[in-house]
Amino acid sequence: MKVFSLALLTLLLAALWTGSQGVSLRSPYSTCCYKDMFMRKKILASNIKSYQKTPSHCSHRAVRVELLNGKKFCVDPEERWFQQYQRQKKTTSAST
């Protein structure tokens, strides 16, 4: 019983320390998009909250799009509708 308690205490302290250090146990590859993750349909510009390019170490070049409802999708940055969305965003931000 003492060994179990000591092991449990050790795990708890390790979890607390990791959290306080801001260390993430998630893989950096969790931000990558893979072949079966891509959204093939057009997403309305009014539904897009933000977007971010995937890191260069990912095997597929992609953009992770976050919708207003919190859902995230992978999009091919060469999709025509996404190219138009980016141009529209640049035009809007340049005029303000």
Q: For 45-66, how does the pLDDT look when each residue is reduced to its tens digit (9 = 90+)?
A: 999 999 999 999 999 999 999 9
Whether domain 28-94 has CATH 2.130.10.30: the reply is: no
pTM higher than 0.95 for the full model?
no
Query: Token pair 């003492």 is at which residue?
Result: 2
Range scoring the smallest mean pLDDT among 11-15, 46-50, 82-86: 11-15
Distances (CA, A) of 48 to 8, 36, 44, 69: 44, 21, 7, 9
User: What is the predicted pLDDT for the residue at 91?
Assistant: 86
